[in-house]
Chains A and B, each alone.
Chain A
Amino acid sequence: GAGVSQSPRYKVAKRGQDVALRCDPISGHVSLFWYQQALGQGPEFLTYFQNEAQLDKSGLPSDRFFAERPEGSVSTLKIQRTQQEDSAVYLCASSLLLAGGYNEQFFGPGTRLTVL
């Protein structure tokens, strides 16, 4: 089946604009993660959903960042009033939720956001 897909693949925004990044996880995957990857760095955790519930948002850098997954499948990461420091690749990952075992995270290709 299809893997994790993200759209758009590239987004250029002017400083102060709002942006919305979409993630389509693998069908049936209960868990969904968002990560932010700055240039030359490893990905950093932003937030985690189990179905529609946002169980961990400890990595969101400010209240300008908001994520949702209203029906427990597609998720949207919204950034309000974008700043230059928000420029990064935003990665989405999904996984099953099997008790007691390792649940491999499958990553999408990411959305590269450039804020001018």
Chain B
Amino acid sequence: DAKTTQPPSMDCAEGRAANLPCNHSTISGNEYVYWYRQIHSQGPQYIIHGLKNNETNEMASLIITEDRKSSTLILPHATLRDTAVYYCIVRKIGANSKLTFGKGITLSVRP
């Protein structure tokens, strides 16, 4: 699976949008981009995934660049409960394979 690069940390104000970047310049055509998050002392939680089109669900939006070499996870109205480590992961289509986590990005939402 292709490697991802994320900044180590960022913060945002409560109620504002949080935009979390991820680089995956070596992604191949048969790989999805996934996002998971891990709140302190809990297991990781699935957020969203996409191939090349932008995706939105009740938790977040995923914007993937046209060349698919980078993406942004958007939390439209961050709350204190969104403080967590967010992992961007690249994984092959249709695979029921392991997830390869990096160090992720620590998002701190301030009041």
Query: Which of A59, A102, A106 has most B Cβ within 10 Å?
Result: A102
| Shortest beta-carbon distance from A115 to chain B in Å | 19
Looking at chain B's contact residues, the main secondary structure is: loop
The closest CB in chain B to the CB of A104 belongs to B46
Do B98 and A4 have beta carbons less than 8 Å apart?
A: no
Do A109 and B42 have beta carbons less than 8 Å apart?
A: yes
Find chain A residues with CB under 8 A from B34 CB: 102
Distance of A40 Cα from B104 Cα, bound (Å): 10
Stretch at the interface among A11-19, A43-51, A63-71, A74-82: A43-51
The closest CB in chain A to the CB of B41 belongs to A109
Distance of A45 Cα from B46 Cα, bound (Å): 16
Looking at chain A's contact residues, the main secondary structure is: loop
Find chain B residues with CB under 8 A from A56 CB: 98
Find chain A residues with CB under 8 A from B97 CB: 48
Find chain B residues with CB under 8 A from A102 CB: 32, 34, 49, 94
Find chain B residues with CB under 8 A from A41 CB: 103
Once A42-B101, A42-B104 are accepted as A-B contacts, the answer to whether A4 and B96 lie under 8 Å apart by CB is no
Q: Is A110 an interface residue (CB 8 A)?
A: yes
| Shortest beta-carbon distance from B31 to chain A in Å | 12
Distance of A110 Cα from B98 Cα, bound (Å): 17
Distance of A95 Cα from B42 Cα, bound (Å): 18
Do B101 and A31 have beta carbons less than 8 Å apart?
A: no
Distance of A99 Cα from B100 Cα, bound (Å): 21
Distance of A44 Cα from B103 Cα, bound (Å): 10
Distance of A95 Cα from B85 Cα, bound (Å): 22
17 A-B pairs within 8 Å (CB atoms) are namely: A33-B98, A35-B99, A42-B85, A45-B100, A48-B97, A56-B98, A91-B43, A91-B44, A93-B99, A97-B96, A102-B34, A104-B46, A105-B44, A105-B99, A107-B42, A107-B44, A109-B43
A-side interface residues toward B, CB under 8 Å?
4, 31, 33, 35, 40-45, 48, 50, 56, 59, 91, 93, 95, 97, 99-110
In the A-B complex, list the 10 residue pairs whose CB atoms are closest, starting with the nearest: A107-B43, A42-B101, A45-B98, A104-B46, A43-B101, A107-B44, A103-B96, A100-B94, A91-B43, A108-B43
